[in-house]
Amino acid sequence: MVLRLKASALLLTLPLSLVTLPLHAANFFANIAATPPLQTSPLHHQLKQLAPQATPEALRMAAEALSCADPNAERLAVIDYSLPSSEQRMWVFDLHQHKLLFEELVSHGQGSGDALAEAFSNTPNSHQTSLGLFRTKNSYYGRNGYSLRLDGLEPQVNDLAYERAIVIHGADYVSEDFIDQTGRLGRSHGCPAVRADVTYPLINSLKEEQYVFAYYPDPEWLATSTFLNCDTDTQLAQR
């Protein structure tokens, strides 16, 4: 009996924090058990994880546009025309497998600029590059060899891409050797041309109902783009 009284007295003299530690610990572990699993990262975070060297804003806009157009899309190519043509500025993602498939050089149109693209349009015969979201169509063999047709999805921004024959194709002027000689890539008539060595696998990864997003920090386009100012009630690209 004396021992029990002494033990009780000892407990009364201990700091309250020590006496209640087991209760705090129990609550702590209970909270862990009740915490739901982390949600999947937003698409732009996934893209940034796969291509950390890419411009974050270009990836963010691409993710926003694709989330508006087709949240279940399988493949996406992002082109960042704010970078000079001497740098790798095209990334192709497999969104279902969470993989970066390609990181590549890509040209811009003769009418858009020299080493840097600075002017963009939807105008036939302008030889300028178009911005915005495109959906890929079929591959074919044309005057530039194996090529991929693009369907521009943004009215007055790129919706004349098919009429203008804006396609992805390979070109000898897209190479490190050309950069070494001139300080930049050669330029197309508005097409996003890629290295000849990757033409087949890159086009095959993107053909038939995949997406290409061409970015540049153009204020007017950013403010008016159908897919960057999305009506969330409508999947606008599914037409």
Q: What is the pTM of this model?
A: 0.81
Per residue, the 3-state secondary structure of 83-138, as one string, reads CCCCCCCEEEEECCCCEEEEEECCCCEHHHECCCECCECCCCCCCCECCEEEEEEE
Output the pLDDT for position 11.
44
Taking the domains of the chain in order of start, what are their residue ranges? 2-34, 43-224
pLDDT digits (tens, 9 = 90+) for 115-127: 999 999 999 999 9
pLDDT digits (tens, 9 = 90+) for 1-10: 444 444 445 4
- Confidence grade of residue 231 (pLDDT, cut at 50, 70, 90): confident
Report yes or no: 130 and 112 within 8 Å, Cβ to Cβ. Answer: no
Counting residues of the chain whose pLDDT is more than 70, the rounded percentage is 79
pLDDT digits (tens, 9 = 90+) for 82-96: 999 999 999 999 999
Q: 43-224: CATH homologous superfamily?
A: L,D-transpeptidase catalytic domain-like (2.40.440.10)
